[in-house]
Amino acid sequence: MLKFYYSGAPNPMKVALFLEEAGLSYEPIPVDTRKGDQHKLEYLAINPNAKVPAIVDGDVTVFDSNAILLYLAEKTGKFLPGNTAKARAELLSWLMFVASGVGPFAGQSVHFRNYAPEKIPYAINRYMYEAQRHFGILDARLARRNYMLGDTYTIVDMAVWGWARLIPTVLGETAWAKFSNLKRLVDQISARPAAQRAVGLRDKHKFKTEMDDEARRAMFRHLTEKVA
């Protein structure tokens, strides 16, 4: 059975959504990143980047959430746009936009707003600005389309959902007011039974919730390993 290495964080949740939407059988395997499970040798053999999610599907290993979405979509033939060069180009463009822009900037915004030991206004403003700009691009596109690629629900919407559902954590409690089209998509996906099962997955395992010294050592290794 497909093994799904996960936590309740945004990137694993995109993959959980796909697995639930596609009705695939899988074994969820918790990786408690606040306890340092991501750095264990057996997990590094699956994902050398020491992050979640990853999957092992028979003799195939895939890490990085958007790569996993693409792998699973191509394997099952589900949640893809039409089979034309134009549609595939749009799929890849938007999937990579989420992977290389939305996710990293949103993640850094959360980090500098909530977890950095010092409040650095320059860093907070830069990452909030870029996160807001990226979400604004998604919102503008959704003003003219039901889903990111048109009328069909695809893996791009799942990738967007993973991060956009956390907009209040990324940009503050009032931020939804700026993204009404994106909110429509997020609410629509969150109401789906598959999304509710995906979000409920983390309750099946007991993940550590405290951000204490052990968690900071595991997740923010730059605190103890100086490069500069």
Ligand X SMILES: N[C@@H](CCC(=O)N[C@@H](CS)C(=O)NCC(=O)O)C(=O)O
Q: Which residues bind to ligand X, rule: CB under 6 A?
A: 9-11, 33, 38, 51-53, 64-66, 103, 219
Q: Least distance (Å) from ligand X to the CB of residue 151?
A: 26
The residue (of 65 and 154) whose beta carbon lies closer to ligand X is 65
The residue (of 40 and 177) whose beta carbon lies closer to ligand X is 40
The residue (of 52 and 185) whose beta carbon lies closer to ligand X is 52
The residue (of 20 and 64) whose beta carbon lies closer to ligand X is 64
Per-residue buried b or exposed e for 83-109, using 16+ beta carbons within 10 Å of the residue's own CB: eeeebeebbeebbebbbebbbbbbbbb
Q: Least distance (Å) from ligand X to the CB of residue 217?
A: 10
CA distance 128 to 121: 10
Q: Least distance (Å) from ligand X to the CB of residue 225?
A: 13
Candidates 17, 27, 42; CA nearest to 205 is: 27
**Angle CA(96)–CA(207)–CA(1) in degrees, nearest 5?**
65
Q: Least distance (Å) from ligand X to the CB of residue 180?
A: 26
Per DSSP, 203 falls in state G
